[in-house]
A and B are shown apart, each in its own frame.
Chain A
Amino acid sequence: MSTVLEILHIARFGLAGVFLLGGGFFVLAGAIGVLRLPDFYTRLHAAGVTDTMGSTLILLGLMLIAGFTLLSVKLALVGLFLFLTSPTATHAVANAAHKAKLKPLLGTYRQTRKGDNEGGSQ
């Protein structure tokens, strides 16, 4: 019995580690994307990855570590809040850019490089 618990214990922390690392990877990828991608909309896309995948995985990992405690409930609430707000924020920003008549970059990067559009809706 105790060995089963121990295995579960190890598995829990192992899984938490995987989630945290995965979350970290998405955050990093998002950050690189914001810096490297060519135009406003694609950068926004990269930033969205940080918000959704990155934070969700990190929160899941933390919840696994915290176990069945009040802390987990709070983390779940944080997750819920982010789940609702970050796509909305991304939507609002993209909407504003669209309203401001910011054209997305079409075609390949090399073709339109000259007209590189520094992101910014205003």
Chain B
Amino acid sequence: MTMAMALGMIMPILTWAGTHAPPLVVVTPLLAGPIAVFLHKGRLAWAWALAISILTFVFVLLLMPQVIQNGHIAYYMGTWVPPLGIEYRIDSLNLLILLLVSAMGVLSLVFGLPLVENEIEESKRGQFFAAFLLCLAGLLGVTITGDAFNVFVFLEISSIATYVLVSMGAERDRRAYVAAFNYLVMGTIGATFFVIGVGLLYMASGTLNMADIAMHIHGHSDNRVVRAAFAFIVIGLGLKMAMFPLHTWLPSAYARAPSMVGVFLASTATKVAFYAMVRFIFSVFTPGSPFEGAVFDLVLAPMAVAAMIICSVQALYQINIRRLLAYSSIAQLGYMLLGLSMGSIAGVAAGLLHLFNHALMKGALFMGVGKASLRQGVTNVQDLRGLGKTMPLTAASFTVAGLSLIGVPLTAGFVSKYYLVVAALERGWWWAVAALIVSSVLAIFYIGKMLETMYLHEPPKITKSKKTAPQAPAKTSLLALGPLMLMAAANIYFFFDASLPKGLADAAAKALLGGGAS
């Protein structure tokens, strides 16, 4: 009886939460952030941030059945019907990203406690977690919205929070300030380009709701204002997501940021910018038009290939592990961009699947580095010596994620690369397949270099050296191992059962390319 009664109490609440989940996903961390400022005890702030991020994840989960059932859901802010008001619009595409971002929020918080206690001053931890929550809210806000200008506002919340979070690495590495400043300048130029693009779209259509813009500019792809808007939005978001020639800010920012921030950003920030680009290119502009086709074939695809090869080569030469991984990230963004530039359902789906898988592997790799640095202050590849012996579980997880990055069978990385190859062959892009192979071979080298140091070199004599930061207590150190192994396991799991991300990516690609302006 009590079970039934409890169920009777909970069901209406669940239904209510389900209906209003779209704003709650964003508003929960957004309003929890200011409260975290006043939680002076580091652990308390951390617990608060963790609870909030779990709650956010639950709201995203509540969205899932609705989206899978109805195809997409719309939510009108203040009940103003678009184009008068701001609309939240969730379909399979943003659901995939929302799941990814909110899950990574939880995982990097669980993982991050010992690292934050190691790297951030006690008095600043409350504010640090507040900035983290605001960053999370911003990323989720960009992903969920259906309003072009609202994308800008939330992009800036997440970006400003990110600049601040990156600069917090200065307690470990003074170059973090410069990295954060360069990121700020490049990011603001990107945001301003994006605003110019949105302004031009508004000039051509008179509205800001994405679906409505699409309706108005449909069939006007020869309009020069629309074409310029396309160029500015692609460049603006390209700057935010570190698209190949615009990527200069990224390696330093990721390498100098606090470890926990590196984990979170590497697996979410560029992904969200990539999502926004996909959303604009396919849902707002007309993907079938000759102009966009030309941009795909002549600009985006060559850029993608250049990124895949050049940045992989750059990764080979890096001494600092985080920089190495960051360059590899830019190369991997090339894979996603390649999928996008194919302009076919298979290509876009493969690109999105790779986005999901890349977040898993890069998250795990950055976690591995962070975990290792707790013990022996790892910054350079050299410092990994003998990790296979001193920290076998961490090393094993790192290895799995590394293999996944290369694309070895039995890991998730293989699945998305396989689909990318299939999609490329479908379009007859042999050169793209060749580039994929070359890039993967390069990945073997730079990942291999690290694995070799890890397993074949003796551990350094001064393992617990004085130059490293004080060791974190063993308990919290164990706490960090959980998410790391979970991520590594996910890299294997999604090889055997990729139905969730693959299903969402396929549905998203079909909706993007099949439905036109819908």
Direct A–B touching in the complex (beta carbon < 8 Å)? no
